[in-house]
Amino acid sequence: MTEQGAKAEQVETLLATPDLAGALESEQFKRFLDQVPIAIAVSEMKEPERIVYVNPEFEKVTGQLVTAFVGNPWTVLAGYDDKKRDSRSLGQALAESGDFVGTFIIEHPGGEPACVDAYSNVIEDDNGTPCYRFAALIEVGAHKQEQNEFEQKLREKDTLLREVQHRVKNNLQMITALMRLEARNAQGKMDTAPFDRLAGRIEAVKLLYGLLSSETSDGEIDLGIYLGEIASAVMRSHAVEGIRLDLKVDAYPVSVNVAMPTGLVVNELLTNALKHAFVGRGGGTISLHSLSDGKGCQITIADDGVGLPGGAEWPKRGKLSALIVQSLRENAKARFELQSSPGGGVLAKIEFTRAAAAPEAGG
């Protein structure tokens, strides 16, 4: 048991003393309280309520002499909630609450402040009439130090995790670069399209890791930023003269499970548009809009190109792209549809509600 736990147990033992109300009338009992290594104060429940006793430990913890308390109301006891959730002073909280009151900071002029757990109990006589208020303060400086050490360890683990994420991102970047190099070297010898598609997918995952590694991530992804980075990466990798990107994105926080399939689907559609939509044409426009409102988010990926060949569909059943779209539907509870006609371009829509896409609590 910790020292603070032992002291809290001592407080409970004192409160369980038979006829505590009568004992508080005894000078002998007060001399006993003088020796207790717990800060104790007692008030008499008359109107107005006034403090009638404080022990030496109470003087030590509060940094004030007994004369500052005896004969005065609890409001003379300064101190504030350590989390600043309770606007009451320590004295007010003791006078208005029961059992464990909270953790408070007591400022000491010219010295280190004291951090205390505060307890307050009303003592009744044999007839059930409140006659005394018994307050105890237990210093928890050591407990706070342990907490700070624990928080430091958490920060160190968080730093290590970010370093791992950074290395994963760098490794993905290297894999992407090597695959694209191999694809260029293999041109004319074999079909390099699978290399390009796989490199694009790895690039999308790498960008996601980059956003997760940022100091402000906190376990969520800004979908607008993520899709913007994917669009820029695709345009750089498949640069085609005469093709313009119309990009409009709103900031929209989503969970990783939503961001991943959404980014992969957008990557596939943009890549397909750049490679196939404008064959035989001098150029055109590809648009990526990710717009949100109070209900959810709608993403549209469209081009004014040649459209899919008659009878063709996307995604094709049995292909990886079909699995990615299925993942989007399951993880983001998204609605996905694609429309196309020969010569009329392609229009794809992804829609999901705010509740389905929201980041999970705790990251």
The more confident residue out of 4 and 91 is 91
Lowest mean pLDDT among 22-36, 79-93, 165-179, 300-314: 165-179
pLDDT score of 337 more than 90: yes
Q: Is the peptide bond before 109 cis (omega within 30 degrees of 0)?
A: no
The pLDDT value given to residue 213: 61
User: CA 137 to CA 140: how far, in whole Å?
Assistant: 9
pLDDT score of 261 more than 60: yes
328: which 2 tokens? Answer: 């989007």
Contacts of 288 by beta carbon, 8 Å cutoff, 6+ apart: 227, 231, 245, 246, 247, 248, 249, 266, 270, 299, 300, 301
Helix, strand and coil content of the chain, in percent to the nearest 5, comes to 45, 25, 30
Mean pLDDT of the chain: 77
pLDDT score of 281 more than 60: yes
Model confidence band, residue 363 (pLDDT cutoffs 50, 70, 90): very low
Q: What is the mean pLDDT of residues 223-244?
A: 86
Q: What is the mean pLDDT of residues 63-81?
A: 90
pLDDT score of 22 more than 60: no
Model confidence band, residue 166 (pLDDT cutoffs 50, 70, 90): low
63-68: long-range contacts at Cβ-Cβ below 8 A with a sequence spacing of 24 or more? 63/106, 63/108, 63/109, 63/111, 63/114
Reduce the DSSP state of residue 106 to 3 states and report it. strand
The pLDDT value given to residue 279: 86
pLDDT tens, residue by residue, 150-160: 566 556 555 55
The pLDDT value given to residue 31: 76
